Structure 1
């Protein structure tokens, strides 16, 4: 069922229920000489009541007021024009005991209109009370009771409407916050995908590009050398695909228990740095690794992975921007002191001959990773060399 159809059904139900309650209240007021609010009407047509009975009504005599019926019918448009319907209900209640439509109209105004309009309508609703007292020179206890009843009804209708309004506002805020959280989660997921793709694939593909470039420019290579280069390219492509599968697995199911299907991705850390360096050395990059850590495996968790990513990104950038230049990597530290890492290489003079493309986001991604790990990172020129320094916490 659509929202508009549901609202129309609710509005029709409100109109019918208000009409029934108004007729019943008019009957009680007429038979019991009871008033629930001061009325300025004369008691004659159209301010008086009409009585009718029918066999279809099981012998009951119904008492209705024409003006009360008009204000009741106006409730059909209470959502579209709440203020106008409220003013009509106030006018009807001022000249006839049309209390039920007044309560419904004021409730709707409190739910849908701004505070200034609510206060104005409430003051208009209370205006008949002093006018009523000025009209009669003698103030009886019944008059005071009617005035108090009217004030209480107005306050109750507006108070309940404001309460429902606060619930609606809270629901809307919760829904808006849920949408913002979903968008933030999507944005973070996209950033994670971009970061992991860059960190994992850029290294493998740069190695593959180096080997393919060497094969292309070494046209006089022997069949054995060509076969070996092709095997290295194939192995690099295979490793790139495996890394891609691991990244996609982690990004698709980060909260699942890997022990269920036995597909836990390998935990990369500082212990894998020598293998990373060897891959670059096999590709022709001159790398000098000096590891003086108190524990070879290094820190666990995000700090170890971040150290691995720093070395990976540094080697990738060296192949891109300073091909053939030597790279020196120094890693030292221990539990409690933290992990210090420095990478130094002579600055390149321009683009590589292989034309390896770069997204320009690697160092930005590293800064984000290091910040998340609680560390520090800096990079820049120190004389003729480009130096990258990082410090990561290593809990004792």
Structure 2
């Protein structure tokens, strides 16, 4: 692991608070509006005299660690030195993003102009960002590739990556050694829809947009919880299966996964709630097929948008109850020919809309006049 990562990732060392900001610089530091994590488990933000302390908790799959960042107002960045943290001057003015979810965060905060580089540019759905890529305002990088020379030429204030294996930091050593700040965003590890959406507050802390983030997230949380409460009163829970088999195996969501939480909150019954897994489960084709024969609803049947697409995979799916009743649903309603899918973009910060779609599928009597936003019926 790089020394730069170690400097940013001391787990238990206490931070050393700095003296108060000199009076001449007091107007630079305005932490009137604060962001706190109420649902997310992967980050913590605290506010001090002249910096914000952002802690990213257990961002890696292969080690227990906490990355600690001191977010220091740009006007006094040279005066503040917080022990055992990686300093990031704020507000961040330019950002290279490496995930479509990062776009969802800036878009919710009306800050898409911050993005100057985008990995996986072909898979961006947000029209404003896609337009800026097409016009060359945002430098696009292919999916899974980050040209270090181009990043150095862009000289962004921040490179935001998604957590994974800690060894990946070696890939960014040259960028970090060149003075480009790097932050790990691990929203994808959250197992609840509101926990994942709440990472907009991390972006807000970087951009000094806590007030807007609190307002928008609170509205999403209220709608989500209101809808969930209505569903909780329903006793009848339609059964469902998910996904499409691949090479003889059928991967389904674990019982404690992000997707399973959505199913619970939408009032669905699911065969693998008791599995206890937060990730996916590998099942034999026959195991899921037997469940599918009687399941009321089939969600996410791969890329299929028509029944013909499904039968092209396997004629046996004709025997599914959901096939006969027409209750098969995809999440490609907002997608582009290039492969962009807004379900994986804005859906991250709008779980209230995702839940509303699912409630319309499982309990249309509760959904009222809601029109599908991300989901669509396989015709």
- TM-score calculated relative to the size of structure 1: 0.18
Which one has more relative contact order, counting CA pairs under 8 Å at least 6 apart?
Answer: 2
- TM-score calculated relative to the size of structure 2: 0.18
More strand by share: 2
